[in-house]
Copies of this chain bind each other. A is one copy, B any other.
């Protein structure tokens, strides 16, 4: 069972329907209040939580449910509006497991849901490792040879996306869509710049981010 807390009816129904048609059981809820009620009936496997809601916002709700012993362990995916960068980190700090930026495609949505469920009760600290680079998703921390590397949000997401797709080349559009949001227009060197700063901050290990000229970037295989 997955609870979808989202005030907009359209989106809520879309989410629920998509989940259903993928084989999940899901229930749409309009507000934090409805969620609390539902939680007394049944503890779900996952909660989708919109941040911007009239009345109680997503953070407040998250805070509350993370204090409920029964519910604490349930993974939470925050649904954020585009552009609210800081929100994401805040949500993660507060114990959310992942976030997804509106508007999003249904395929991506489903794959996030599956990913979070796969991780299991969110107990285990999910981390990605590639050679000397270690990335702790939930803690939002990156280490290179044990040395902690301070990354900004965009840099972190960039690295994460690359590491999640190790070996395969991601082009600028893909990176832009995934990290900067659904639509992003115009020709810019934004991605390049971030790749560069990322490489710099990663020091010696930075070179593992390869440029595939004319195509995009990738983190090479550990062969």
Contact = CB atoms under 8 A, between A and B. Distances in A.
Interface in A175-218: 177, 182-185, 212-215, 218
Interface in A4-21: 9-10, 13-14, 17-18, 21
B86 A183 contact: no
Contacts of A88: 14
A68 interface: no
A93 B17 contact: yes
A71 interface: no
Contact of A214 (B108, B139, B152, B218): B152
Nearest to A182: B111
A13 B89 contact: yes
Given A13-B89, A85-B13, A86-B13, A107 B140 contact: no
Integer count of this chain's copies in the complex: 2
Contacts of A92: 14, 17-18, 21, 106
B17 A215 contact: no
A177 B21 CA distance: 21
A139 B114 contact: no
A110 B88 CA distance: 16
Contact of A93 (B21, B86, B93, B118): B21
Interface in A94-120: 97-98, 105-108, 110-111, 114-116, 118-119
A6 B92 CA distance: 20
A45 interface: no
A153 interface: yes
Contacts of A114: 173, 177
Given A10-B85, A17-B92, 7 more contacts: A14-B92, A17-B86, A97-B107, A107-B119, A118-B174, A138-B168, A152-B213
11 contacts: A13-B86, A18-B89, A92-B106, A98-B106, A105-B119, A107-B119, A107-B185, A115-B177, A138-B169, A139-B167, A153-B214
